[in-house]
Structure 1
Amino acid sequence: MPKDAAVEEFAGLVRTLKARDGRSYEALGRRLSVSASTLHRYCSGATVPEGFAVVDRLALLCGADEEERRALEAAWTEADRARRRTASPVPSPAPVPSAPESNPEPSAPAPTAPEPGPDPAPDPTTPEPTAPEPGPSPAPKPSAPAPTTPEPGPSPAPKPSAPEAPRARPRRAVPAPLLVAAAVALVVLALAAALLGHPTRTASAPAPDSTPPGRTAAPLPFTWTIGSELWQGGCGHTYLVDRAPGAVAPPPVAADSGAWAGTHGAVHGGEALVRITLQGRSPSDAVVLEALHVRVVDRAAPLPWTAYRMDNGCGGAVTPRHFAVDLDRPRPLARPVDGLDASGAEVRTIPAVSFPYKVTSSDPEELLVSARTAGCDCRWYLELEWSAGGRSGTVRITDGGKPFRTSGTAGRPAYLYDSAEGRWITDAESGQTG
């Protein structure tokens, strides 16, 4: 399906849902935690949401049934693919295939374990079939002594060879099983050595693990997704990039920020926004979200890179369930703060609500975490405590298996993009001072 057709089909479905509900862009946007202008861009096809969760929540709010939600998800998937095809490709994944290619080479020696292939040595024991020859059990054979005439001939030679076979048999039959046992012992020792070398890795492996079920035997009673390339109000954000202005592409739209940041190796400057969308699996059995914790795993001096600001003057923001984190504190906390609704003509305050929260399949929840720093290059992740139906646990929330990363920007050269001149300019050139 052509790109434009895929995006238009998706936008048409979103418009249909919005029209069915009858509420204004501002009213619906407030329930979805997006600005009115952002929701309008979804309906017009100007922007495709970065994740399906916000669209699914819109479908639930507008009373869509399961079939309509499946069709909406399929349309979003095609539109998202079309959007990604237009984004700048990230070259970094290319080298990934080289890693698996090298793995088979060291694993190839494994088949050499059968080196006890000398088992063919038992071939000399093949004379064992000669054992029945000396066995005179078949009495009728002695009745044919007529051929004894050739005995004075060369026949005596084979007779001494016959006793040699019985001597070889006891000596070589014993080594054969010994060789097999030795080979098995070597394999067992090799496996034991390999296993003894792994505990340190298995102990550290859980640290970056972000798989929702974690170590829980049963599946989680809820699902969750994250958005980690968010901009304040959908327009304001700062990235640190280790490149000169001439080597940095123009700022993307917010929906394509992930691809832009990946291509430039960018790091969130001063503030990182993380949105967590949670939804229960049952319409009646609620999951209680008990607490949210912040874990800083590494601190370093702020990056000595150049700051690039993405401000482009777009619409306002809705920030309910907002949690502020000061990464510069020794023990950062996720502190609930008042949210702001700047999507209308006036800016309204949304009162802070602290834990616990409840979620079901028909009543999802979104948490927005704003992590700021002025004095460090911090790597951090979140832990969400939950309980439901007599069970409880903690989910580790990371950036695709890696810690989130935020670095201070104080004292760094800062640039804004001048779309009229088509180049990055300094604050002094733009007339701004902050």
Structure 2
Amino acid sequence: MVGGVVTATIGAAVSIYVPKLLDPPPEERPIAINVVSNPATVPAWGNEVFSFVMPVDARPATRPPTDCPSVVDWAHANGGVDQEATRVRLVVQGASDQGVLIEGMRARIISRSATPAPGGISMTCGGSQGVVTPRHVVMDLDTKEPSAEYATRVDGRLPLFGFTLQRGETEVFELTVTTKGTVEWVIEFALVVGGESQQLEVTNHGRTFRTTGFSSPRGYRIEAGTFHWVECTGTPPTCGSKPVSPAALRYS
């Protein structure tokens, strides 16, 4: 069985930026959702490190960039799988006149292996760029029916997961999913609309999410506050200090 945890930050969004294009259009379902799958663009993860395992046979058509948000997009576009953790921001907005109760959230597993699938080199960036302490909701993928619950106790008890969105009201989830194996998954919300239960699936813009615990013995990293690559070897990795040109990176 593959172990893992889902954590999320939930906050009332009176002053947050709400994208114009929520997916799909509000008239098609009771809540509209925008998925931000580049965690390096989300301030809540300013202190986090983002790592990706590249395919064994990676042959990128372009050289890797040297700013972290662009590295994340480049790695995903070239077949990179999130290493150790997948982080996703979900902007959820009520789109029903009846109000929508969000009573649960889970990860639906498409495929998984308890042994991390071997990959190629790792590509890493980020860290120490901001200070935010999110309020967490946790979900253990080892349980028979994984469900989210708050990690922080209130009056000595864990509050029940669930809240209601009226039309136009918005909540933000900063979702972190981890695994020690290799997992392909999607997100599912459990909703109640007009007294009827509904399941709503959320994908990575039409694709599944992929996360792996594979540790590559070799890779490259952009240290926080710098804009050049250095080579790293070993587990845990030890990184050199000599800059490596993007043109000189070796993927196998």
RMSD: 3.7
Asked whether the equivalents of residues 52 and 123 of structure 2 are also in contact (C-alpha less than 8 Å), the reply is yes
TM-score (norm 1): 0.42
Could you say which residue in structure 1 is the equivalent of 2:30?
221
Asked whether the equivalents of residues 18 and 91 of structure 2 are also in contact (C-alpha less than 8 Å), the reply is no
The whole-number CA distance in structure 1 between the counterparts of 2:209 and 2:227 is 34
Could you say which residue in structure 1 is the equivalent of 2:64?
249
Could you say which residue in structure 2 is the equivalent of 1:346?
none
The whole-number CA distance in structure 1 between the counterparts of 2:33 and 2:228 is 40
Could you say which residue in structure 1 is the equivalent of 2:177?
371
Question: Letter of the aligned partner of 1:306 in structure 2?
Answer: I
Q: Structure 2 stretches of 5 or more lacking a match?
A: 1-10, 242-252
Asked whether the equivalents of residues 104 and 148 of structure 2 are also in contact (C-alpha less than 8 Å), the reply is no
Say whether 1:55 aligns with 2:17: yes
Q: Tell me the SS of whatever aligns to 2:73.
A: helix
The whole-number CA distance in structure 2 between the counterparts of 1:316 and 1:269 is 22
How far has the Cα of 1:378 moved from its partner? 0.7
Question: Letter of the aligned partner of 2:177 in structure 1?
Answer: A
Say whether 1:428 aligns with 2:233: no
Q: Tell me the SS of whatever aligns to 2:77.
A: helix
The whole-number CA distance in structure 2 between the counterparts of 1:390 and 1:420 is 53
The whole-number CA distance in structure 1 between the counterparts of 2:51 and 2:145 is 22
Q: Structure 1 stretches of 5 or more lacking a match?
A: 1-29, 34-52, 58-72, 78-209, 340-350
Map 1:184-199 onto structure 2 (within 5 A).
none
The whole-number CA distance in structure 1 between the counterparts of 2:109 and 2:80 is 20
How far has the Cα of 1:305 moved from its partner? 2.1
Question: CA 1:212–1:381 in structure 2 vs 1: closer, same or farther (change >3 Å)?
Answer: farther
The whole-number CA distance in structure 1 between the counterparts of 2:13 and 2:178 is 24
Map 1:82-93 onto structure 2 (within 5 A).
none
Q: Tell me the SS of whatever aligns to 2:18.
A: helix
Could you say which residue in structure 2 is the equivalent of 1:307?
122
| Cα displacement string for residues 221-243 of structure 1 (whole angstroms, at most 9, x for unaligned residues) | 22122222224713521111235
Give the number of the structure whose alpha-carbon radius of gyration is greater. 1
Asked whether the equivalents of residues 191 and 198 of structure 2 are also in contact (C-alpha less than 8 Å), the reply is yes
Could you say which residue in structure 2 is the equivalent of 1:316?
131
Aligned-residue identity in percent = 19
TM-score (norm 2): 0.67
Number of residue equivalences:
212
Q: 1:361 aligns with which of 157, 160, 167?
A: 167
Question: Letter of the aligned partner of 2:206 in structure 1?
Answer: G
